[in-house]
Amino acid sequence: LYSSAASDVYKRQVFMNIRVGSLVRRNLITIEKGVPVIEAVKLMASKNVGSVIITDGGRLFGIITERDVIRALASGGSILDPVERVGTVRNLVTVSEDDFISVAAEKMIKHGVRHLIVLNKDGRLFGVVSIRDILGERRILEALSKIY
């Protein structure tokens, strides 16, 4: 095992060399504002993802996640409610495709989220990165195995 100082250096090297954009591998999955939550759930299930971007006329409006759906249903919401009532549509947490994954990880921890909206250099929608995408990156798993 590495010494504590050496493991910190190694961890920083790995987390500072991988850009968020390289982890966005899936086609962008969107749903239009006003569509019932059940349709977002069906999309998540069929595409094996945990979130769907909410759009308004094709433009970024918000995000709905599995956790949003569970919380809404637990508090009496309906699967027929519009996605924007259940998902997050204000104070969206985003990262740039050029940010290092350390920035994404810090934002996930700070905001208590598992999915981040990724924007391109022009501030337009590029994709979504999830905690599963970060942990599924082979280089990260190798680095963590060497540290711990």
Residue 61 confidence (pLDDT): 97
Of all residues in the chain, the percent with pLDDT exceeding 70 is 80
Residue 102 confidence (pLDDT): 86
Provide the edge-to-edge strand list for the sheet that holds 51-56: 30-32, 51-56, 59-65
Distance CA 3, CA 47 (A): 42
Residue 18 confidence (pLDDT): 86
Residue 95 confidence (pLDDT): 97
Q: What is the pLDDT of residues 28-86, one digit of tens each?
A: 899 999 999 999 999 999 999 999 999 999 899 999 999 999 999 999 999 999 999 99
Tell me how far CA of residue 126 lies from CA of 36, 70, 71, 93, 95, in angstroms: 24, 26, 27, 14, 10
Mean pLDDT of 120-126: 93
With a cut of 50, say whether residue 138 has pLDDT above it.
Answer: yes
Mean pLDDT of 102-127: 94
With a cut of 70, say whether residue 131 has pLDDT above it.
Answer: yes
Helix (H), strand (E) at residue 86:
helix 83-86
Mean pLDDT of 122-148: 77
With a cut of 90, say whether residue 9 has pLDDT above it.
Answer: no
Model's pTM, two decimal places? Answer: 0.82
Distance CA 28, CA 54 (A): 11
